[in-house]
């Protein structure tokens, strides 16, 4: 009974964090403070601060600032928003003035908004030596080595919080039908492979719903990608699809601390069917290259 109660509590916390992030995404241009978010999430500010950091790997305040700066980065980089001034961008993503926005933007990306528009690119986070990597790992995150593999599936469109849970299952069903119809054996679980990160709100993405194989298969009608061998950050997520972004966020932050590899590998998630779960919650392992 105690274990069941703890699982319920853990699930509730995941849902509260998800509700907080959804409220931030839906009200990004407003003058939000932590009181607003905690009230929308239905949890005290003190408890929400602790629960959010525990599940996402960063504080709620830093997450809010990060979401705003990422949205600003997208606006400043887009060709159809060139007419917007820096102040316009700052106000649209929730900053009160251009000065505070520019200071935060420069701290985050090591360049000014104006420099970005002149063609300069944000800096990469510094790499750390291999000997210190294990000491920087968050609880529940490990480094694993995997051989190369092939990915087969179909791409579906979507947007965080809005259509992921509607479109991804259909994509997996289409792939499952192909697997069953052609009698394919020896594959490794269901796998989702975004073409680029969808961790922060308001970022569109394309998702490859499929499976991985250790050998190349001759399959027509499915997308094919090859993933190089290497080392990966890995964390297990237990909970509904709508809360998986939390584990992605944690691993993305972990990857930034260790240094982003430049070998073209992309993060992916893989469903886990053999994990005992009394609440019937789906599980997946999330992998980020390191």
Tens of pLDDT, residues 81-112:
778 889 999 998 889 888 999 998 888 888 89
Q: Which residue has the higher pLDDT, 131 or 107?
A: 107
106: phi > 0 → left, psi -120 to 50 → alpha, else beta; which?
alpha
Tens of pLDDT, residues 226-265:
888 999 999 988 877 777 778 888 888 888 777 778 787 8
Write down the pLDDT at residue 234: 92
The pLDDT confidence band at residue 200, using thresholds 50, 70 and 90, is very low
> For residue 284, what is the enclosing H or E element?
strand 283-289
Closest alpha carbon to 257 in 141, 130, 126: 126
Q: Is the pLDDT of residue 199 over 70?
A: no
Region of poorest pLDDT, from 9-13, 40-44, 160-164, 216-220: 160-164
pTM: 0.68
Q: Which of 144-148, 149-153, 164-168 has the highest mean pLDDT?
A: 144-148
Residue 198 in tokens: 């969808």
Percent residues over pLDDT 90 in the chain: 6
What is the spatial distance between Cα 222 and Cα 224, in angstroms, rounded to a whole number? 6
Measured from the Cβ of residue 222, the count of other Cβ atoms closer than 10 Å reads 19
**Is the separation of the CB atoms in 284 and 272 below 8 Å?**
yes
Closest alpha carbon to 212 in 201, 202, 222: 222
Q: Which domains does the chain carry?
A: 2-117 (1.10.10.60), 141-289 (3.20.80.10)
DSSP 195: S
What is the spatial distance between Cα 34 and Cα 20, in angstroms, rounded to a whole number? 10
**Cα–chain center distance at 106:** 23
Q: Are strands 149-159 and 223-227 parallel, antiparallel or unpaired?
A: antiparallel
Mean pLDDT value across the chain: 77
Q: Is the pLDDT of residue 42 over 80?
A: yes
What is the spatial distance between Cα 56 and Cα 243, in angstroms, rounded to a whole number? 10
Write down the pLDDT at residue 71: 84
- Cross-strand partners of 157: 206
Write down the pLDDT at residue 102: 92
Residue 91 in tokens: 């106000």
Write down the pLDDT at residue 5: 41
Region of poorest pLDDT, from 18-27, 137-146, 158-167, 183-192: 158-167
The pLDDT confidence band at residue 192, using thresholds 50, 70 and 90, is low
223-227 β-sheet, strand order: 141-146, 230-238, 283-289, 268-272, 188-194, 204-213, 149-159, 223-227
């Amino acid at each position: 009974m105690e274990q069941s109660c703890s699982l319920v509590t853990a699930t509730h916390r995941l849902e509260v964090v998800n509700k907080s992030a959804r409220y931030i995404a839906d009200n990004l241009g407003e003058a939000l403070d932590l009181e607003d978010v905690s009230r929308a999430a239905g949890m005290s500010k003190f408890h929400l601060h602790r629960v959010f950091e525990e599940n996402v790997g960063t504080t709620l305040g830093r997450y809010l600032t990060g979401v705003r700066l990422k949205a600003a980065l997208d606006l400043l980089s887009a060709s159809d928003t060139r007419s917007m001034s820096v102040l316009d961008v700052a106000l649209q993503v929730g900053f009160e003035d251009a000065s505070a926005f520019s200071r935060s933007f420069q701290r985050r990306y090591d360049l000014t908004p104006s420099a970005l528009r002149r063609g300069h690119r944000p800096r990469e986070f510094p790499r750390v030596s291999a000997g210190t990597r294990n000491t920087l790992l968050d609880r529940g995150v490990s480094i694993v080595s995997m051989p190369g593999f092939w990915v087969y599936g179909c791409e579906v469109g979507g947007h965080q919080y809005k259509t992921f849970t509607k479109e991804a299952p259909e994509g997996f069903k289409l792939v499952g039908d192909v697997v069953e119809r052609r009698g394919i054996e020896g594959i490794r679980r269901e796998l989702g492979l975004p073409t680029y990160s969808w961790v922060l709100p308001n970022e569109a993405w394309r998702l490859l719903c499929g499976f991985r194989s250790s050998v190349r298969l001759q399959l027509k009608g499915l997308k094919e990608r090859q993933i190089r061998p290497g080392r990966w950050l890995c964390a297990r997520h237990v909970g509904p699809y709508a809360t998986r972004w939390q584990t992605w966020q944690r691993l993305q932050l972990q990857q930034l601390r260790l240094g982003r590899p430049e070998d073209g590998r992309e993060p992916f998630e893989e469903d886990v069917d053999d994990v005992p779960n009394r609440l019937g919650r789906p599980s997946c392992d999330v992998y980020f290259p390191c």
